[in-house]
Amino acid sequence: MRLAYAPYTLHFHQPAGTSRGILYEKPTYFIKVFDEHNPTHFGLGEAPLFPGLSPEADERYEYKLIELLANVALGRPTDLSHHSSIQFGLEQALRDFALGCRRIYAPSDFTNGRSPIVINGLVWMGSLEEMTMRIKEKVDAGFRCIKLKIGALDWAEEERMITAVRARFSPEKLEIRVDANGGFPMDAALPRLKWLADMGIHSIEQPIPAGHTELMAFLCSASPLPIALDEELIGISGIREKTDMLDIIRPAYIILKPALCGGFSGAVEWIELARERGIGWWITSSLESNVGLNALAQFTASLDVEIPQGLGTGNLFTNNAPSPLTLKGEQLMFDPTFVYDNRWLDSLEWRE
């Protein structure tokens, strides 16, 4: 078996605001595995690198891909325990290759076109007017659950926005999740959590920065609002580390981004540990292109999820890959009649 990879830069339709800054573009890497005697028959995956969030995002990243390329050719294993995005991409490519190189990663009623995945509507940070307009657009499109990125605006403005949304849509009509991306000041976190709970918010992701284990444990025990861990999971690879974190912090939910938490195999391990402890979870994309999002959606569908998932990022980029995924309101659907055109992939700069 052989491996090749191709770097690619995704460009946003509109600047994407987070509490860590504004994103205009995002690097990613496509991976394919193939039999050297039949190189046109290949399994495809994506290693979506996230600068500022992926621990492996540094100048040595491509050297790890070169090491993996060489080891695959030699039939030797590669330690990817600290390279979650590459683990994610390699698992996709191997699954695809094993299932016939049809871009089917997890066959299910979803890939047969019979069972859509319900997703939340993602509302990026912006001005008060921009976010209010985006919320209205999501509700008008049929979303019953939205996720608001907060933590970058003045808190008083965010209070006004959420108050206005709640005045129009009750918790019974619209579930609101918020994601602070660690943006709350430590001394203001608990009062804000109480206010959000009073507004009927479903949950909050990562209210304070990751790495403050004891304080996060306190917030989870004291907060009237369910807290979900997100960035807190990044870089935790050992089963003992995962177990200790969940047992100490005891969150209500964990948010799983396979590109950042050990690939599909790492996500499954987190899910098993969470289930043992009565901790809820859902899957969220990490700004993959349509290649990774397709694989992620299929993996998510195979888990028989029952609550809205965070997979609504397919239309963010101007230069995205062709995709069998379609979005109708809050329903993410797979078109089994979609025909892949490999000319888009052939145009990339593959390195073997």
Provide the annotated active-site residues.
149, 257
Closest CA to 74 of 1, 134, 167: 1
Closest CA to 168 of 123, 138, 130: 138
Tokens 């605001």 label which residue? Answer: 17
Query: Got the DSSP string for 86-121?
Result: HHHHHHHHHHHHHTTSSS-SS-STTTTTS-PEEBPE
The residues near 123 (Cβ < 8 Å, ≥ 6 apart) are 131, 134, 135, 138, 146, 147, 148, 149
The residues near 81 (Cβ < 8 Å, ≥ 6 apart) are 87, 237, 262
The residues near 64 (Cβ < 8 Å, ≥ 6 apart) are 56, 78, 80, 83, 86
Amino acid code (one letter) for 152: A
How far apart are the C-alpha atoms of 163 and 169, rounded to whole Å?
A: 10
Other residues' Cβ atoms within 10 Å of the Cβ of residue 94 = 18
How far apart are the C-alpha atoms of 88 and 282, rounded to whole Å?
A: 17
CB 327 within 8 A of CB 137: no
